[in-house]
Amino acid sequence: MADRLVIGIGNPDRGDDAVGRLALRRLRARDPAGVRLLELDGEATAVLAAMQGAGRVWLIDAAQSGAPPGAIHRIDPAMDDALLPHCTVSSHGFGVAQAIGLARAMGTLPRHCIVYAIEAADFTVGALPSAEVMAAVDDVVRRIAAELAQDGG
């Protein structure tokens, strides 16, 4: 298992909620070496299980915090403890913020964990992701690719 893991979270059938998976697919096309790439729907226990054993994790998900659609939040749960539950509101209910909280409480939070939350607006079933969210996807993919390269990948 690769020590580095990128998880794209979302529902591809709910408009902007697809953002994490779309970003992961674009990152996969870059074929980053030594990185495990995983798509999940965002259920907390699945996210928690996926992070087990990984030393460095990047998570990409949709968020609703009141910022404009397409705004990118880069959150380091080790540094931004108070910001995670309030800055991002997962569309998955018990999701990413709760998984990170559980991992922290259990002492299993990876030593490097970064959350990229892209501000979403439309979670309508059958809708396409908005243009603002798609522009943010490209930006997040560039950022993560740069971080992976800097991290030795």
Percent helix, percent strand, percent coil in the chain, to nearest 5: 40, 20, 40
Tokens of 45: 């226990």
> What are the b/e assignments for 78-100, b being 16+ CB within 10 Å?
eeeeebbeebbbbbbeebbbbbb
| Spatial distance between the Cα atoms of 76 and 98, rounded to a whole number of angstroms | 14
Per-residue pLDDT of the chain (153 residues; tens, 9 = 90+): 469 999 999 999 999 999 999 999 999 999 999 999 999 988 888 888 899 889 999 999 999 888 999 999 999 887 765 444 444 444 445 567 777 877 777 777 888 999 999 999 999 999 999 999 999 999 999 999 999 999 765
| Residues 116/71, Cβ–Cβ less than 8 Å | no
Distances (CA, A) of 8 to 12, 23, 24, 58, 99: 11, 7, 5, 9, 14
Total-model pTM: 0.87
Tokens 């998570």 belong to residue: 59
SS3 at position 99: helix
The residues facing 114 across adjacent strands are: 58
